[in-house]
Amino acid sequence: MDRPDTPHTDEPLVAETQIERRSALAIWISRLEGPQTMGRGPVFWATAALVVLAAILYPLFSDPFAVGNSAYFMVWTFMAMGLGVVWGYTGALSFGQTAFFGLAGYAYGVLTINFGAAYGFTWIALMISVALGGLFAMLIGYFMFYGRIKGVFVGIVTLSVTLVLETFMAQTAGPQWRIGEARLNGFNGMSGMPPLTIPWPGGDVLLYPGVGLYYVLLAMVVLCYLGLRMLLNAPFGNVLVAIRENPERAEMLGYDTRAYQMLSFALGGALAGLSGALYTAWGQYITPSSMGLTAAALPIVWVAVGGRRDITATLLGTLAVLFAFQLLTVYGSQYALIVMGALLLFTVLLTPEGLIATAMRWLGRLVGRAKR
């Protein structure tokens, strides 16, 4: 009697696929440390974990106003990290981050005013707004980089785009300037859009400035920071740094430098758009002044003071400068911008790598000597 055929199974193929996925995940996790980011080893990650733990516990020992204010600070870190990628890693100084910020902010307002916040639509509006910021940045980047615009002219073009967009939005005060139910309101800006909303069986959770929004933003900042570390230590980040250091040599090695610059610019625009949409959701308003000359210059100060060539220094520097700037605004508003300008001048002349980046390198050397 013949033996029945052995049934065919895909178990070896499934096992091989699982191994490949684990190895790919291990590769990406290993890129949390690399040549393009400072900080590595148990001491660095233990310190980072303690900082995150302190941030998690902070609302338990603070008043609601301070917690909401801290959430406001975190809103801006995405735009700063995006500018760090564009300027620090790719070498293209951009004044256009606030243009992408404003475009995404207005997009969030228009979408949520017209479609409401039911069924978690605010998160869909957030993603659409971020995508619009990134696509607009990609379009501008395409014309700039494929048009061989470089150096100081990138700053001039992006600043022009920002000022044109601000001027246009300031002139939309008439009743004819509306998209569905959403009126643009010119220089008065848009208001009345809902905050981020989490659908919940017992009733939607509205994330007004407070503890709930603080924790959501903290999680987003941590995930964005870790994701950027992995991306910048990947081949993509290495090519960006090669373009920054010597674009002609990178092109001779076979890389399409214009495509990498455009993608980097799009990433920076998407992150600026994320800040814009979150800012609009945080305060339920957006105005053309958020795209003005002063607004366009401030991210440059944050990133330069922290350290534009390291994402950790950019993040820490942005939070520190924002906190200091708010204190100056409260207790000496007439001097706030002057002090920010002086701080930028001091950084450029004495610590061109950034105050935070320089301090981190100094501490790293001390730790290394102590180990030896």
* Residue 100: both structure tokens together: 């992408």
* Residues in CB range of 184: below 8 A, 6 or more apart: 106, 169, 172, 173, 177, 178, 190
Mean pLDDT by 10 residues, the chain (372 residues): 51 64 82 90 92 95 89 96 95 94 96 91 96 97 93 93 94 90 91 91 86 95 97 95 94 94 97 97 92 88 92 94 84 75 85 87 75 68
Does 218 reside within a domain? yes
Does 43 reside within a domain? no
Does 82 reside within a domain? yes
Does 241 reside within a domain? yes
pTM (2 decimals)? 0.91
What tens digit of pLDDT does each residue of 49-87 get?
999 999 999 999 988 888 988 999 999 999 999 999 999
Does 281 reside within a domain? yes
Quickly tell me which residue has 């600026």 as its tokens.
272
Number of domains the chain contains = 1
Provide DSSP, 85-153: IIIIIT----S-HHHHHHHHHHHHHHHHHHH-SGGGHHHHHHHHHHHHHHHHHHHHHHHHHTTT--THH
Bridge partner list, 34? 37
Task: Return the percent helix, strand and coil in the chain, to nearest 5.
Answer: 75, 5, 20
Does 7 reside within a domain? no
Range of the domain at 76: 65-293
The closest alpha carbon to 144, from 95, 104, 81, belongs to 95
Provide DSSP, 313-359: HHHHHHHHHHHHHHHHHHHHHHHHHHHHHHHHHHHHHH-TT-HHHHH
Residue 332 pLDDT: 67
The closest alpha carbon to 100, from 351, 293, 301, 269, belongs to 269
Decide: residue 240, CB within 10 A, 0-12 exposed, 13-18 middle, 19+ buried.
buried
What tens digit of pLDDT does each residue of 17-51 get?
666 677 888 888 889 999 999 988 888 999 999 99
Query: How many Å separate Cα 139 from the centre of its chain?
Result: 19
Does 221 reside within a domain? yes
* Residue 22: both structure tokens together: 């684990």
Does 333 reside within a domain? no
What is the distance between the alpha carbons of residues 269 and 135, in angstroms, rounded to a whole number? 8
Let me know: does 180 contact 116? Beta carbons within 8 Å: no
Residue 175 pLDDT: 85
Residue 1 pLDDT: 46
Radius of gyration of the chain (CA): 23
Query: How many Å separate Cα 100 from the centre of its chain?
Result: 11
Let me know: does 279 contact 133? Beta carbons within 8 Å: no
Residue 334 pLDDT: 65
